């Protein structure tokens, strides 16, 4: 079980590393419903191991603190009452220090478990826990960026840590021919339930861009009045733009005629050749319309993925997040994982600079409501 | 052009017939954003003929009243400023009588146009106008039902006019084999832009029910605690149930232990064997989960449609309303027709008892946000 | 009882007269919570006579229609369940015609009652009902103006019916000396419970303006940036200005550099010398601050009232609407009349052009939340 | 200047002492708009000394950090842009430690100033700063209690620190005779602008209770259905009860049939004989109605105050917070102090267990919107 243990330890250590530049104060706030504080991510990913594994596989396991089950549960309705999602930022106790003790306690028990031979069921749950924690690592850093961005003094998280300065390595269009393609996960490794049910999809001829849209491309859209012309927008997107007075990607601000963006290194001037990021599905779709192109479907993306460079940005597709044929929700709390969000969310494919190494897959189905922008999201065009 | 003229006249007359049981007062209120008053439907469908046809095809056409262009425009951003959608219920002038004069005026001009040979372009626009009016006839009657339902005295629209008392004619499951199927409109007749782009879809084996879910079936779900158990629900659906304290289909109320429903004939006791209606996508999906089945996709529905009895209910599918491959938005105001709603809405297939005769098609893609229930919606299961 | 009967008949007839220019359509809409449709005012004032008088004083009285008690009750919690206040605009049935029949039915019964000798209790209730109807006449016309103002075509209610074109008859300041003054109603005539409890108030020296603020005065405030400078405003008023983007009195609009105002005669250009109207308490107080003056208290107003010309506008005072010493809430439904609004409302004194003749009194305490502007409100300064 | 210096030092030290039981985490959250985090209170009270005094009276004063002026300003519109009030809980940097350094820096400069002779103007500003900080000490502890109360694990702030366990020392009614009374501050000591303008008020005979309402008294009200009977409530209060499902004073919860309350010592069982606290004006007024009494006016309270034991609770009066005759708003930022809140707030008189020693006065006018309950508020009846 060495490699599983190592993988577990490496993952757990990476969460701590991500938090190493933080002050205690930074662990607390939750300015918006859709993001959570670092303290909560650290606790919740630990709670998952305690709740789903230690309580079931360790005889006479003493839970660290009964309050934690209540406080750090997330959506899992099947596992007792949960603290209100929108009030995570009010929970000052347990302290950050106690949360780290909780991590250490749970780690030591998991490590003990992994010293012996482990059943296939346990192994799978550990791997699920690792992947779960990796998902929360990505959220931890993007949520943190969002929280820090509220501070008018533009705090620096770390000197060399810019998630958004990335450039394209290829240009041009890739042609894919009409055919039946197999979509979904197949094989041995880890994957989420929503990728299962490998199935056939018929795709017509299409072309997909080898590069992602850049800041320079998007500035053209802005300067051409893209945000002011309803004809590029979905009706719901147009309402979103107007109600929220959206005039640029998230974190952008114009200062004395120049565009800047808040980054984890502080406020930085926009680099035109960098890949565009922090845009909503609405903006992605309006940009594609303006350009006379469209967004790819998730099936087109997956069929083309082996011939593309990807992994720097989550790429919005024009596919709603829906169950694959034969999708079955697992029994119990683990079954709440993904299926219940299959409505009014759009699929993003690829991975981003915030995605932990080894967590990416070309069958991975990320999903968010079309209005969200705080993830590292970008645009790849199709036609 | 006789048959086109007849079709035009028949359609225009049917709108008036639908309103014949109304009092002047009934033409006015708009209790909710998503529904419109009868007066608005009558005017807007007339405005469409004036704006899209008469102003372009009749030399020296004198518009009936310049205010009407402003007041009875709907979403068409390209055609001047429009009155606010949520304030349609405040517009008492022009009066109902003036609106009928407007109809007569526009009708006479269209009829004059149709006496001569007409160009293909004009013919297509007339047919679009007819279909547009038919869509509004369906909304007129379902919106009206919704408005009247607010009145605690349960007003009767008409003695013999119950949209919801329908029974199944078949039972059992239809098996469809894995294959490539052609989806979308093909041929000569009228269709909307969203049905175009006939294309191939690969479908795996599936079964689809020959009957729709009945009130008796759904009462079982209610009595089994279906509305109180999160595990059947999408996360967003569960929030919807709880925030709105949903306990039954729309218009249902329990009086002294018996279930009643508001209908256009007044309050009626629920007939167990009648086909269930007035449910949201959330409820449809939760019911399917509870039953151990699922909803069909719109592609499965269309592939099976020739072997099914349909047309009594709009049937929720588990397909998001998205563009078909090669979908192109038309230029100009007509182009605003359907494409801009292709986000966060789900497809319904079939037709309902409120759909005007001849307006239904097995390629028709109706769509609503998953929360809406005021249309004549029902459930067909798949597995 | 002749004069009481005449008074009753005159009052009842005036409600009908106020509605004579209306189309059926105008009786229906309720665009905002705080206003009610004409149909409701006509019904509710009738309901008051049926509920409070006929049901108690007429043996074997047959109520006109049991639904009406439910539909046309207002705030009177003590008298059965009431229809929801915000949904009055959805109630199309009973029709306007039925409502007029209801009025005739109730009138005939009241008239029969008044042919005989009537007890003091009955007499007082009739007088209360008359005054109640007069209050609703004022609301009927101001609510109607508000509803019609939503219509972009600026409908004309009546050719000669402008509530807001009034001029001052006097100028200068009136000095009142420090003393104890008696405040509140005394004597025989009708008055509301909130005026009772005549009591002593000590007033210091003050001056009060003989004229009301004019449109010209207020235009100076606007042009001096009054709406943009927080220092004139109460904190809550400043938020109100900014959240609602208030830039002028209600119904004002600037068209090609000129100020216009919606009136019941249609859109009219602002007359500088007319008395200002349709302003909130927030605006009144900010204007007074800007002018280096203040608003009078209701006690100062009442003490000075016999030496002032008043009655063209409700005048905002800087007095909260609170109980006089010894104020007692009457038992039963009638007791719900005024006391329960004694929080977060400000007192207006005087009367307006919409107040029915004979309904005004210098002890009358009108009251509204400081944000409301749809009544005929104005400013008299003090210092 | 020794005593002023001592007073300054003592006040500054007390803020620090209040925070001594806190963890860093506790300094951050702001769960509701109306409360602020401890870090903000510490910074803002310091900012007041820097902004209003050091920048004006110390030549070549180097401000500690230019960001702080922006971040820790509150309502003072006149002093540059301010950070958004509702987002104080998102500001993690500067850290708590930096905030303490800021305090030390400003303290040392103020202390240096106070070593020399000081002008009358400076002296008055220092005293204002001290009183300002004392106000914030009271808010700091009541805001903190509110924040900690969100935590389902009921955190303990300190073992011996219960603000709400207080008992009456007297019983019975005090009679006050009809007369002219002088109201408002007079003399030498510190007072706020809203207490100025000592003036005459005529009071009729009244009686005022020597004791405050107890938990036992209020439990009677609850058990008698006080929260369910509209007739005791102001209309706005009744809406407040129903919209917020209010069933008990703030912080109360019923566990297995017994009433508990969250306190700064953790969850404690309700002591019947303790003085009731944490109630809104709405509840105070409804209780008084139910009891057949009323709340005193602020004038009655002040006239009787020398014969009463007070200081354990802020006592709601039935007086709106309005300007005294001759009230003038001071020029400049200091002038924003109190006047701008004189609308839709009610006056509380007395002081509470959270009020710093020496800060209370019988002319003190505290004020809150009638819905607020997080201060230490109670009821004294009058009749």
pLDDT tens per residue across span D152-161: 999 999 999 9
Contact C152 B71 (CB under 8 A): yes
Q: Give partners of B (≥3 CB pairs < 8 A).
A: A, C
The Cα D48–Cα A145 span in angstroms is: 31
CB proximity C322 to D under 8 Å: yes
Judgement on whether residues C351 and C211 belong to the same structural domain of the protein:
yes
Count of helices and strands (H, E) across chain B: 10, 11
Nearest-by-Cβ selection for C28 from B28, B71, B152: B28
Mutate to test the interface with B, among C153, C154, C155, C374 (most CBs of B within 10 A): C153
Write down which residue in D114, D149, D184 finishes a domain: D149
Please give the average per-residue pLDDT across A171-187, as a whole number. 96
For position B327, what pLDDT does the model report?
Answer: 81
Among chain C residues, CA nearest to B37? C90
Contact A87 D31 (CB under 8 A): yes
In this prediction, residue A327 has a pLDDT band, given cuts at 50, 70 and 90, of confident
In this prediction, residue D218 has a pLDDT band, given cuts at 50, 70 and 90, of very high
Q: What's the pLDDT tens digit per position in C112-136?
A: 999 988 899 999 999 999 999 999 9
Which positions in chain D touch A24 (Cβ < 8 Å)? 24-25, 95-96
Average pLDDT, chain B: 93
Residue B79 in this model has a pLDDT that exceeds 60: no
For position C334, what pLDDT does the model report?
Answer: 62
Contact C153 B25 (CB under 8 A): no
In this prediction, residue A273 has a pLDDT band, given cuts at 50, 70 and 90, of very high
CA distance C265 to chain D (A): 35
In this prediction, residue D379 has a pLDDT band, given cuts at 50, 70 and 90, of very high
Specify if B357 maps to a domain.
yes
- Which residues, in sequence order, are CB contacts of A139 under 8 Å at separation 6+? A35, A36, A41
Specify if D157 maps to a domain.
no
Average pLDDT, chain A: 93
Interface present between A and C (3 or more CB pairs within 8 Å)? no
In this prediction, residue A338 has a pLDDT band, given cuts at 50, 70 and 90, of confident
Contact B28 C25 (CB under 8 A): yes
Q: How far apart are the first and last CA of chain A?
A: 47
In this prediction, residue A87 has a pLDDT band, given cuts at 50, 70 and 90, of confident
Judgement on whether residues D282 and D330 belong to the same structural domain of the protein:
yes
Q: Which tokens hold the place of C101?
A: 């029949």
Nearest-by-Cβ selection for C77 from D204, D230, D344: D230
Residue C82 in this model has a pLDDT that exceeds 70: no
Q: What's the pLDDT tens digit per position in B102-115?
A: 999 999 999 999 99
Nearest-by-Cβ selection for B202 from A201, A285, A344: A201
How many angstroms separate the most distant Cα atoms in chain B? 67
Please give the average per-residue pLDDT across A352-373, as a whole number. 96
CB proximity A344 to B under 8 Å: yes
Contact A233 B340 (CB under 8 A): yes
For position A331, what pLDDT does the model report?
Answer: 66
Specify if C154 maps to a domain.
no
Judgement on whether residues B18 and B98 belong to the same structural domain of the protein:
yes
Count of helices and strands (H, E) across chain D: 10, 11
* Domain count along chain D: 2
Residue-wise DSSP of C73-92? --S-TTSS----GGGGGG--
Which positions in chain D touch C341 (Cβ < 8 Å)? 234-236
Judgement on whether residues B225 and B118 belong to the same structural domain of the protein:
no
Cβ A78 vs Cβ B231: under 8 Å: yes
Among chain A residues, CA nearest to D145? A90
Contact D201 C199 (CB under 8 A): no
Q: What's the pLDDT tens digit per position in D287-300?
A: 999 999 999 999 99
Which positions in chain B touch A233 (Cβ < 8 Å)? 340
Q: What's the pLDDT tens digit per position in C16-53?
A: 999 999 999 999 999 999 999 999 999 999 999 999 99
CA distance A244 to chain D (A): 17
For position A339, what pLDDT does the model report?
Answer: 79
Residue A374 in this model has a pLDDT that exceeds 70: yes
Question: pLDDT over 90 for what percent of chain C?
Answer: 84
What CATH number is given to the structural domain containing B183?
A: 3.90.1580.10
Average pLDDT, chain C: 93
CA distance B82 to chain C (A): 10
Specify if B167 maps to a domain.
no
pTM of the model: 0.94
For position A77, what pLDDT does the model report?
Answer: 61
Residue D331 in this model has a pLDDT that exceeds 90: no
Residue A296 in this model has a pLDDT that exceeds 80: yes
Other beta carbons within 10 angstroms of residue D143's beta carbon come to 24
Judgement on whether residues B95 and B41 belong to the same structural domain of the protein:
yes
Specify if A165 maps to a domain.
no
Please give the average per-residue pLDDT across D29-51, as a whole number. 95
For position D327, what pLDDT does the model report?
Answer: 81
Residue C295 in this model has a pLDDT that exceeds 80: yes
User: Which H/E stretch holds residue D183?
Assistant: strand D179-183
Judgement on whether residues D51 and D83 belong to the same structural domain of the protein:
yes
B174, burial (CB in 10 Å: exposed 0-12, middle 13-18, buried 19+): middle
Mutate to test the interface with B, among A340, A367, A371, A383 (most CBs of B within 10 A): A340
Report the phi/psi class of residue A96: left, alpha or beta, with left for phi > 0 and alpha for psi in -120 to 50. Answer: alpha
Among chain D residues, CA nearest to C300? D325
Cβ A122 vs Cβ A8: under 8 Å: no
Q: What's the pLDDT tens digit per position in B126-155?
A: 999 999 999 999 999 999 999 999 999 999
Judgement on whether residues A215 and A349 belong to the same structural domain of the protein:
yes
Judgement on whether residues C104 and C205 belong to the same structural domain of the protein:
no
Nearest-by-Cβ selection for A344 from B78, B236, B318: B236
Nearest-by-Cβ selection for C29 from B71, B90, B152: B90
Nearest-by-Cβ selection for A87 from D83, D150, D155: D150
Nearest-by-Cβ selection for D95 from A23, A87, A152: A23
Contact A75 B200 (CB under 8 A): no
Please give the average per-residue pLDDT across C242-267, as a whole number. 96
In this prediction, residue A41 has a pLDDT band, given cuts at 50, 70 and 90, of very high
Residue D94 in this model has a pLDDT that exceeds 60: yes
Judgement on whether residues D116 and D177 belong to the same structural domain of the protein:
no
For position B328, what pLDDT does the model report?
Answer: 75
Residue D219 in this model has a pLDDT that exceeds 70: yes
Judgement on whether residues D345 and D225 belong to the same structural domain of the protein:
yes
Contacts with D, C 273-292, CB within 8 Å: 281-282, 285, 289
Residue D79 in this model has a pLDDT that exceeds 70: no
Nearest-by-Cβ selection for C202 from D202, D233, D370: D202
Residue B363 in this model has a pLDDT that exceeds 70: yes
For position D334, what pLDDT does the model report?
Answer: 62
Contact B343 A236 (CB under 8 A): yes
Please give the average per-residue pLDDT across C143-166, as a whole number. 94
Please give the average per-residue pLDDT across C265-272, as a whole number. 97
Contact A26 D155 (CB under 8 A): no
Specify if B256 maps to a domain.
yes
Interface size, chain C vs chain D, as Cβ–Cβ contacts under 8 Å: 77
In this prediction, residue D332 has a pLDDT band, given cuts at 50, 70 and 90, of low
The Cα C38–Cα C17 span in angstroms is: 12
Q: Which tokens hold the place of C247?
A: 């830039």
Phi and psi (nearest 5°) for A360?
Answer: -85, 155
CA distance A341 to chain B (A): 6
Phi and psi (nearest 5°) for C318?
Answer: -90, 55
Please give the average per-residue pLDDT across B344-360, as a whole number. 96
Where is average pLDDT lowest: C63-72, C356-365, D63-72, D73-82?
Answer: D73-82
CB proximity B320 to A under 8 Å: yes
CA distance B104 to chain A (A): 33
Specify if A294 maps to a domain.
yes
Cβ B75 vs Cβ B47: under 8 Å: no
In this prediction, residue B32 has a pLDDT band, given cuts at 50, 70 and 90, of very high
Alpha carbon A81 to its chain centroid, in Å, reads 26
Among chain B residues, CA nearest to C81? B152
Contact D340 C235 (CB under 8 A): yes
The Cα A301–Cα A349 span in angstroms is: 7
Which positions in chain C touch D284 (Cβ < 8 Å)? none
Q: Give partners of D (≥3 CB pairs < 8 A).
A: A, C
Residue B324 in this model has a pLDDT that exceeds 60: yes
Interior/surface letters A24-44, b for 16+ CB within 10 angstroms, e for the rest: bbbbbbbbeeebbbbbbbbbb
In this prediction, residue B91 has a pLDDT band, given cuts at 50, 70 and 90, of very high
Residue D1 in this model has a pLDDT that exceeds 80: no
> Whole domain around residue A130: which residue ranges?
2-149
For position D52, what pLDDT does the model report?
Answer: 92
Question: pLDDT over 70 for what percent of chain C?
Answer: 95
Write down which residue in D149, D184, D199 finishes a domain: D149
Which positions in chain C touch D238 (Cβ < 8 Å)? 340
- Fill in the DSSP letter of residue D366: E
Contacts with C, B 7-36, CB within 8 Å: 23-29, 31
Contacts with B, C 83-122, CB within 8 Å: 83, 87, 89-93, 95-96
Nearest-by-Cβ selection for A343 from B201, B231, B236: B236
Q: Are strands D313-320 and D377-378 parallel, antiparallel or unpaired?
A: parallel
Integer angstrom CA distances of residue C373 from A175, C209, C291, C376 = 64, 22, 21, 8
Please give the average per-residue pLDDT across D253-260, as a whole number. 96
CB proximity C296 to D under 8 Å: no
Judgement on whether residues B135 and B220 belong to the same structural domain of the protein:
no
Residue B62 in this model has a pLDDT that exceeds 70: yes
* Rg of the Cα atoms in chain A: 21
Where is average pLDDT lowest: A337-341, C202-206, C314-318, D37-41?
Answer: A337-341
Integer angstrom CA distances of residue A174 from A211, A254, A318 = 10, 35, 18
Residue C81 in this model has a pLDDT that exceeds 60: no
In this prediction, residue A336 has a pLDDT band, given cuts at 50, 70 and 90, of low
Residue-wise DSSP of B229-259? -GGGS-HHHHHHHHHTT--SSTTEEEETTEE
Judgement on whether residues A272 and A361 belong to the same structural domain of the protein:
yes
Contact B29 C152 (CB under 8 A): no
Residue D330 in this model has a pLDDT that exceeds 70: no
What's the number of CA atoms in the CB half-sphere (13 Å) around residue C234? 22
Specify if C161 maps to a domain.
no
Contact B25 C27 (CB under 8 A): yes
């Amino acid at each position: 079980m060495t490699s599983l243990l190592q993988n577990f330890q490496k993952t757990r250590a990476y969460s701590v590393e991500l938090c190493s530049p933080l002050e205690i104060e930074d662990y607390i706030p939750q300015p918006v419903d859709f993001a959570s504080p670092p303290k909560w991510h650290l606790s919740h990913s630990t709670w998952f191991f305690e709740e789903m594994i230690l309580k079931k596989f360790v005889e006479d396991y003493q839970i660290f603190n009964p309050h934690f089950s209540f406080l750090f549960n997330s959506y899992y309705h099947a596992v007792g009452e949960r603290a209100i999602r929108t009030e995570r930022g009010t929970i000052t106790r347990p302290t950050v220090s106690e949360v780290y003790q909780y991590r250490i306690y749970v780690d030591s028990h998991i490590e003990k478990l992994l010293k012996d031979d482990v059943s296939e069921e346990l192994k799978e749950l550990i791997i699920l826990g690792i992947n779960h924690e990796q998902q929360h690592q990505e959220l931890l850093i993007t949520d943190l960026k969002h929280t820090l961005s509220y501070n008018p003094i533009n705090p620096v998280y770390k000197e060399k840590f810019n998630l958004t300065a990335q450039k394209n390595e290829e240009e041009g269009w890739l042609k894919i021919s009409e055919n039946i393609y197999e979509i979904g996960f197949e094989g041995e490794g880890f994957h989420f339930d929503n990728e299962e049910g490998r199935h056939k999809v018929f795709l017509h001829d299409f072309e997909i861009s080898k590069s992602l849209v850049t800041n320079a491309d998007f500035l053209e859209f802005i300067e051409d009045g893209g945000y002011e012309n309803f004809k590029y927008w979905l009706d719901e997107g147009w309402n979103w733009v107007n109600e929220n007075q959206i005039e640029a990607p998230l974190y952008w601000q114009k200062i004395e005629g120049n565009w800047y963006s808040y980054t984890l290194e502080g406020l930085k001037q926009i680099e035109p050749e960098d890949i565009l990021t922090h845009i909503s599905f609405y903006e992605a779709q309006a940009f594609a319309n303006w350009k006379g192109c469209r967004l790819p479907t998730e099936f087109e993306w997956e069929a083309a993925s082996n011939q593309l460079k990807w992994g720097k940005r989550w790429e919005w597709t024009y596919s709603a997040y829906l169950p694959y044929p034969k999708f079955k929700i697992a029994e119990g709390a683990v079954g709440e994982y993904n299926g219940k969000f299959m409505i009014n969310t759009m699929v993003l494919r690829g991975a981003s600079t915030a995605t932990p190494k080894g967590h990416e897959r070309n069958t991975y189905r990320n999903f968010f409501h079309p209005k969200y922008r705080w993830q590292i999201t970008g645009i790849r065009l199709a036609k």
